[in-house]
Amino acid sequence: MLLSHSWCRLLACLISLPALAQTAPPVTAPLDVAALDAVVARTLTAFDVPGMAVAVVKDGQVVLSKGYGVSSLKTRAPVDANTLFGIASNTKALTAAALGLLVDEGKLRWDDKVTAYIPEFQLYDANVTAEFTVRDLLTHRSGLGAGAGDLLLRYPDSTNFSIQEVLHNLRYIKPVSSFRSQYAYNNSLYLVAGEVVARVAKQPWTTFVETRLLQPLGMRRSAASFARLPDPTNVAEAHTPVEGRVQVLRRDLESTTDPTGALLSAGGIYSSANDLSQWVRMLLGGPGGPAPLLKPATQRELWTPQTLVPVSAWPTPYPTHFAAYGLGWRLNDVRGYQQVWHTGGNPGMVSQITLLPELHLGIVVLTNQASRDAYTAVTNQIEDHYMGVSGRDRVQELRDPANVLAAAEAQRTTAVWQQVATTQKSVLKRPDYAPYRGRYHDALFGDMSVYEQGAQLWVKAARSRRLMGQLLPYRDHTFVVRWNDRSIPAAFALFTLGAQGRATAIKLNNIAGPRNIFQDLDLQRAPETPPGK
C-alpha cells in the first residue's frame, strides 16, 4: 500500500521524535499555590480579564481548583471553582469521546462513510462527499478553508439556522485545498459529527453527552448548553473590549430549531474548574479518579496524530518537534513530553485544557474575556513548574507582543475612521445611494439587504439579527460597516458595479483581526420581485 506524502512525513516525524527529544526530568515538588495566585493576579491585570478559574490535576489528584476575580463586571460576583464558563471548542474533545463510546459499542467505526449515517450529507465536490468518513469530520483536513461556515453557527452567535439547513448549505462552500492535504480548522463539520451521534444513538447529542459523559464523571453542574444548566445562578458573563473598554456581552440563547442538539457539538458545553477536573482525571487515569469511560485503544486513537500541522502554527515557549491534530485534540511535544491540549473561544469567553500524560498532569484555565494570552500565560507558568523551567515571566513574555499587536490594530482602525471622516467632509450634498440599494443573496448565508433610512445607508442580514449596521462612505465604492452591536468589529463593504452603474455584488472584509470572518460570503444582487408577487 502506498502512503500519501503527508503520512510519510508524519511517520518520519514520529520515528525520529525520541532521538530529537531530550526529556526534561519531572519535578516532584508540590505546586506553590501562593506563587501561582500572584501570577494569576498579574495576568488578570495585564490582559484586562475580569475573572478566571484554574484547576490542576497531578498524579490523579486535584491539587488546585480555584476562582479568581469576578464573574461579571456588572454584578461583581466572585469567581469560584464552581463558576460555570462556556468552554467553546473544548467541547470538541467530548464530541469525539461520544463517538468513541459508539465505536466501543460496535455501532460505528471511525472510517465509516458519513453518508452511511447521514445520506443527505453533501460537500461541494461529489467525490469528496463519497469518500468522507467520520474520522474526517474530526480532523480538520476537509479541504475547506479555516473557519469555513462559521457564519452559520458561531459568529456573531445570533443566527437561526437549523442542523438540516447547515447540512444542506455545506455544499455551497468551495474548497481552498485538495481533500486531506492540509490542516484548516473547521467548526461546521463538528456539527455534522454531533448529528452522527444523534442518529446512531437515536437520541439528541445533548442528551447523549450529558448522560454518557458528564453525569458518569460527576460533572453535576455542567450541561451541553447554557439553556440546559441545572443551576444557572453562578455563571460567568462574557466580556470583550468595545471601543477601548472591556464590557459585558449580551448572552444569546441557543437556537430552538435544533432538536438533535447537533448545533452545540462544536462548542456548546458549559462547565466549571471543579467539574472539568473530573474529566481530566478520567483521561489521565491514576488512583482514586473516575473510572475510564473509553476503552484504552479508543482513547489512544483520540490522541493519535491524524493531520499534520506546521510547528510554527502552534508556537510554544518550549523545544518542540512536531504538531498534529488528533480526534478532538491538538497534539505536540514540549521538552520531550507529549502534550495533548485544546483551546476554546466564544465571543468574550476563552479557555484552555492541557494534558501532559507522561507527567500525569492536567491543567484547566477558564476565562471570561476574549484575551487568549491570559490562559496561555497561566498554563505555561504551571507547566514551567512541573517541567523544571525557572526564571521565565510568562505574563510579560506575552503582554509585550500583545501590546504591540493591539497598538498596530488600533492604528490601522484609527486610520480607517479618519478616512471615513475625511470622506464625509468632502461630500457637499446628500450622496446618491440608489446604485447600492437592494437585496443581495448568498447561497450559504441567505439574504442581506441594503437600504436607506433617513439620509443614511444601512445593511441588515436576514438570518442574523446582530448583523445590522450603518454603511459609511470610505473610498470610491467601498464603505465601512459600523454594526449596531459595537462588540462586532467594523468591516469593509466593497461593492462591485456593473456596466449600468448599479451594484451587482458585495464583499465584506474585516478591518482588523487575524482572519476575515466573512470569507465565505459571495453576495450577489438578487432579482427584483415583480409587482404583485
- Mind listing the pLDDT tens digit of every residue in the chain (533 residues)? 344 444 444 444 444 444 444 566 777 789 999 999 999 999 999 999 999 999 999 999 999 999 999 999 999 999 999 999 999 999 999 999 999 999 999 999 999 999 999 999 999 999 999 999 999 999 999 999 999 998 887 554 567 888 999 999 999 999 999 999 999 999 999 999 999 999 999 999 999 999 999 999 999 999 999 999 999 999 999 999 988 899 999 876 555 457 778 889 999 999 999 999 999 999 999 888 899 999 999 999 999 999 999 998 888 889 899 999 999 999 999 999 999 999 999 889 999 999 999 999 999 999 999 999 999 999 999 999 999 999 999 999 999 988 888 888 889 999 999 999 999 888 767 789 999 999 999 999 999 999 999 889 999 999 888 899 999 999 999 999 999 988 888 999 999 999 889 999 999 998 987 677 888 899 999 987 655 54
- Does residue 156 have a cis bond before it (omega within 30 degrees)? yes
Which residues have a Cβ under 8 Å from the Cβ of 181 and sit 6 or more positions away?
6, 141, 143
Q: Is 301 helix (H, G, I), strand (E, B) or coil?
A: helix
Q: Which helix (H) or strand (E) holds 374?
A: helix 372-387
What 200-208 contacts at long range (C-beta under 8 Å, 24+ apart), as own/partner pairs, is: 200/102, 200/107, 200/108, 200/117, 201/98, 201/102, 201/107, 204/259, 204/260, 204/261, 204/262, 205/95, 205/98, 205/260, 205/261, 205/262, 205/264, 205/265, 206/261, 206/264, 206/268, 207/261, 208/98
Neighbours of 486 (CB within 10 A): 13
- The dihedral region occupied by 497, where left means phi > 0, alpha psi between -120 and 50, and beta the remainder, is beta
**Which 8-state DSSP code applies to residue 530?**
P
Note the pLDDT tens digit of each residue in 430-484: 789 999 999 999 999 999 999 999 889 999 999 888 899 999 999 999 999 999 9
Q: Which helix (H) or strand (E) holds 121?
A: none
Q: What is the C-alpha separation between 195 and 261, in angstroms, rounded?
A: 8
Kind of pairing between the strands at 349-356 and 478-483: unpaired
Q: Which three cell numbers stand for residue 376?
A: 496561555
Are the C-beta atoms of residues 420 and 473 closer than 8 Å to each other?
yes
CATH fit for domain 5-403, picks 3.40.1190.20, 3.40.710.10, 3.40.50.300, 3.40.50.150: 3.40.710.10
Q: Is 357 helix (H, G, I), strand (E, B) or coil?
A: helix
Q: Which three cell numbers stand for residue 335?
A: 521538552
Note the pLDDT tens digit of each residue in 221-247: 999 999 999 999 999 999 999 888 999
Which residues have a Cβ under 8 Å from the Cβ of 237 and sit 6 or more positions away?
71, 72, 73, 74, 75, 248, 249, 251, 348, 368
Same fold for the pair 5-403 and 430-525: no
CATH placement of domain 430-525? 2.40.128.50
Are the C-beta atoms of residues 389 and 334 closer than 8 Å to each other?
no
Kind of pairing between the strands at 270-271 and 85-86: antiparallel
- Phi and psi torsions of 438, nearest 5°: 145, -175
Note the pLDDT tens digit of each residue in 392-433: 999 999 999 888 888 888 899 999 999 999 998 887 677 899
Q: What is the C-alpha separation between 495 and 524, in angstroms, rounded?
A: 10
Q: Is 465 helix (H, G, I), strand (E, B) or coil?
A: coil
For 229-250, letters b (16+ CB in 10 Å) and e give: beeeebbbbbbbebeeebbbbe
Q: Is 405 helix (H, G, I), strand (E, B) or coil?
A: helix
For 123-138, letters b (16+ CB in 10 Å) and e give: bebeebbeebbbbbbb
Q: What is the C-alpha separation between 55 and 366, in angstroms, rounded?
A: 9
Kind of pairing between the strands at 491-497 and 503-510: antiparallel
| Amino acid at the residue 31 | L
- Domain residue spans of the chain: 5-403, 430-525
Which of 90, 44, 83, 36 minimizes the C-alpha distance to 63?
Answer: 36
Q: What is the C-alpha separation between 364 and 315, in angstroms, rounded?
A: 19
pTM of the model: 0.92
Q: What is the C-alpha separation between 32 and 384, in angstroms, rounded?
A: 12
Q: How many residues would you count in the chain?
A: 533
Handedness of CA 225, 226, 231, 235 (dihedral sign): positive
Q: Which three cell numbers stand for residue 208?
A: 447523549
